[in-house]
């Protein structure tokens, strides 16, 4: 059977977006050392992009609802290589924060609009499975974005490592333009004002609000765990190098392997029950992170990555299935909630890191998972299943 080029393009967009988003994460201890700053200060490199995404995601959706999907995605995928090159040449933390913020502005046109494209171009019954493919690409991109610069930093330095990601992103953008056909079922909004009115209606939809609340928690936990585990493992008794820190993100491949199974699980269990099971397993993985042996920590990270990515795929597919108009802006609002959570998850643990350390980060994660489970149990009613 000939592979569907649309599905390959969807995977490529997820890969390139998350290749860029998390690229400095495994390098944070090395960057903190080179610039002479602490964990809380250097974590601003991660927070900056999350804030930019949160600020612009809904309005990216509004633009895409007017201009069309492919045009917006392809342009962002090409242009985003520029701030990555500039990030590699930065001479201060403030400079890195600036270029990461600019990079964050260009990410919503890739992932928010790709999810909207999926909702438009595939039948509703196929949307969870295709969203799972997108998450597979995203998890592989997140893994590559940590492993590649981690290994290259030990070999040739972090500047060339980041520049190599810019080249890889450019190649991915060109491939995306060649593979993805123009949208066939896209219904153009009447104008920006009409699209803004659609966005206001999304904010009055309790089903969508419930999905947005879970999105907040998903990235809060991802950023808290996968940012500060680097400092935990770089410190005694582990003393991990950048290459070793990059290698621990092989755990992301668990999400790549399991995400395509999401459609089948949702069909059998329903979104609500499936996500509650995922959150319970995620909590178990978080508690494993308190163990001392590295192999137990790796097992915990694997479980966290797998459950988090599957939860993300279910939530995003639920948004596209629930929003009957203005899907780009509906997904954009989800992305805003998602990355507000990520910003808080990158910043808040840094405030308490020096007093509570790694156990405090894990406690924050478990608390957030409990709040997410409460929201799903009370607000994700079965009538929202589509």
CATH number at residue 348: 1.20.1250.20
Q: How many CA atoms lie within 13 A of 182 on its CB side?
A: 4
As a whole number of angstroms, the distance between CA 111 and CA 100 comes to 17
Burial class for 366, CB neighbours closer than 10 Å (0-12, 13-18, 19+): middle
- Domain count along the chain: 1
As a whole number of angstroms, the distance between CA 165 and CA 153 comes to 12
| Cut 0.75: pTM above it | no
- Quick check: is 50 in a domain? yes
As a whole number of angstroms, the distance between CA 311 and CA 284 comes to 15
**Cis peptide bond prior to 235, omega within 30° of 0:** no
Cβ count within 10 A of residue 182: 9
- Quick check: is 365 in a domain? yes
Residue 384 has a pLDDT of 43
* Longest CA pairwise span in the chain (Å): 60
Question: Residues of the chain whose pLDDT is less than 70?
Answer: 1-2, 61, 66, 185-196, 255-256, 259-260, 324-326, 328, 382-386
161 CB-near residues (< 8 Å, 6+ apart): 27, 88, 148, 149, 150, 151, 152, 153
Token couple for 233: 């493992």
As a whole number of angstroms, the distance between CA 21 and CA 47 comes to 11
- Quick check: is 185 in a domain? no
As a whole number of angstroms, the distance between CA 368 and CA 214 comes to 10
Token couple for 263: 């459609």
Q: Which domain holds residue 376?
A: 5-180+190-384
- Quick check: is 243 in a domain? yes
- Quick check: is 329 in a domain? yes
Residue 153 has a pLDDT of 87
As a whole number of angstroms, the distance between CA 331 and CA 345 comes to 21
Q: Are 128 and 313 in contact (CB under 8 A)?
A: yes
Of the candidates 43, 19, 20, the one whose C-alpha atom is nearest the C-alpha of residue 231 is 43
Q: Are 150 and 47 in contact (CB under 8 A)?
A: no
Of the candidates 194, 198, 166, 206, the one whose C-alpha atom is nearest the C-alpha of residue 19 is 166
């Amino acid at each position: 059977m000939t592979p569907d080029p649309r599905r390959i393009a969807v995977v490529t967009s997820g890969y390139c977006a998350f290749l860029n988003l998390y690229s400095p994460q495994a390098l944070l201890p090395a960057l903190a050392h080179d610039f002479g700053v602490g964990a809380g200060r250097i974590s601003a490199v991660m927070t900056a992009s999350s804030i930019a995404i949160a600020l612009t995601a809904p309005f990216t959706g509004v633009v895409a609802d007017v201009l069309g999907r492919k045009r917006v995605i392809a342009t962002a995928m090409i242009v985003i290589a520029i701030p990555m090159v500039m990030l590699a040449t930065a001479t201060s933390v403030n400079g890195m924060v600036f270029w990461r913020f600019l990079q964050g502005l260009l990410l919503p046109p890739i992932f928010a609009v790709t999810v909207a494209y999926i909702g438009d171009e595939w039948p509703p019954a196929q949307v969870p499975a295709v969203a799972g493919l997108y998450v597979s690409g995203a998890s592989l991109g997140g893994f590559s974005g940590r492993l590649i610069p981690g290994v290259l930093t030990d070999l040739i330095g972090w500047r060339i490592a980041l520049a190599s990601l810019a080249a890889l992103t450019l190649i991915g953008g060109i491939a995306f333009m060649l593979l993805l056909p123009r949208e066939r079922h896209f219904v153009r909004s009447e104008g920006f004002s009409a699209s803004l009115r659609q966005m206001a209606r999304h904010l009055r939809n309790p089903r969508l609000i419930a999905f947005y609340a879970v999105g907040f928690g998903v990235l809060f936990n991802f950023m808290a765990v996968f940012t500060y585990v680097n400092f935990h493992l770089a410190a005694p008794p582990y003393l991990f190098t950048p290459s070793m820190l990059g290698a621990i993100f092989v755990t992301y491949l668990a999400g790549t392997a399991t995400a395509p199974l999401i459609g089948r699980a949702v069909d059998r269990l329903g979104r609500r029950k499936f996500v509650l099971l995922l959150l319970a397993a995620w909590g178990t993985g978080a508690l494993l992170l308190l163990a001392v042996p590295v192999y137990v920590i790796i097992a915990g990270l694997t479980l966290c990555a797998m459950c988090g990515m599957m939860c993300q795929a279910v939530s995003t597919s639920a948004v596209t299935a629930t929003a009957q108009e203005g899907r780009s802006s509906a997904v954009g609002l989800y992305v805003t909630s998602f990355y507000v959570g990520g910003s808080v998850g990158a910043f808040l643990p840094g405030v308490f890191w020096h007093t509570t350390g790694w156990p405090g980060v894990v406690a924050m994660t478990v608390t957030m998972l409990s709040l997410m489970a409460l929201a799903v149990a009370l607000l994700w009613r079965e009538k929202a299943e589509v």
